[in-house]
Amino acid sequence: MSIGKSKYSQDGCLRLLSCSSIIPLKRLDRIIDALKLITDISVIWVHIGDGGLRQNLQSMCKDLPTNINVTFVGQFKSQEVLNYYIRNQVDLFINTSASEGVPVSIMEALSAGVPVFATDVGGTSEIIDNSVGMLLDTQPDPADIAKALKAFFLLPEQNKQELRNAAFKRFQDSCDVEVCTGNLLKFLI
């Protein structure tokens, strides 16, 4: 079931969201290193989740340029994550994990019509491709992440809207629990 589409920025700022545990496997430091390279656009990155590396990452963020704003909001319950999408502007979801199954956090982003940039690990490529965002290399270099973020920011609004619509449709066609349950029943019968 879809939660409805998230709002998106219209003020010249790129708003990123990530959602994961703050552990080495998630490689959130690569996002920070990429943001260090972006000096010409305003970026707001919100991370939902918590873990043992939070203080280290917050310290790393102190070295970011002044055009970058980062907030670690802590752990949310599932419904709070979905509410975040409804109540806030989110332009792009980013996941730089070293390993995944088919990430629920990515499905949540798609359900809100938010394009996704994610590493090509585990089952991520089953739901993410260039029509709904971008598959990053399995070992993304911060420079490549920064380049991809800037390219997304510079897309014409029509192209961004097409990505948003495709993300929402991908959720409806591939991730919605009712669709998946129906497909499973067809397979079993």
- Domain with residue 174: its CATH number is 3.40.50.2000
Number of domains in the chain: 1
C-alpha separations of 55 from 40, 52, 97, 101, 169 in Å: 27, 8, 19, 27, 37
Distance CA 176, CA 120 (A): 22
Residue with the bigger pLDDT between 93 and 3: it is: 93
Distance CA 87, CA 70 (A): 18
Specify which of 1-5, 158-162, 183-187 reaches the highest per-range mean pLDDT: 158-162
The answer as to whether 159 is a domain residue is yes
For the cut 90, the answer to whether the pLDDT of residue 180 exceeds it is no
For the cut 80, the answer to whether the pLDDT of residue 183 exceeds it is no
Single pTM value for the model = 0.91
Q: Are 114 and 167 spatial neighbours (Cβ–Cβ below 8 Å)?
A: yes
The answer as to whether 85 is a domain residue is yes
In the block, tokens 């619509």 appear at 165
| pLDDT the model gives residue 1 | 47
**For all residues of the chain together, what is the average pLDDT?**
92
- Predicted confidence band at 175 (pLDDT cuts at 50, 70, 90)? confident
| pLDDT the model gives residue 181 | 53
The answer as to whether 91 is a domain residue is yes
The answer as to whether 8 is a domain residue is no
The answer as to whether 6 is a domain residue is no
User: How distant is the alpha carbon of residue 50 from its chain centre?
Assistant: 16
The answer as to whether 78 is a domain residue is yes
The answer as to whether 73 is a domain residue is yes
| pLDDT the model gives residue 9 | 80
The answer as to whether 7 is a domain residue is no
Q: Which residues form the domain of 95? A: 13-188
| pLDDT the model gives residue 188 | 57
What tokens were used for 23? 């552990």
Distance CA 18, CA 130 (A): 19
Out of 154-158, 164-168, 178-182, least confident range:
178-182
3-class state of residue 95 by DSSP: strand
pLDDT digits (tens, 9 = 90+) for 111-142: 999 999 999 999 999 999 999 999 999 999 99
Sign of the dihedral defined by the CA atoms of residues 155, 144, 128, 91, in that order: negative
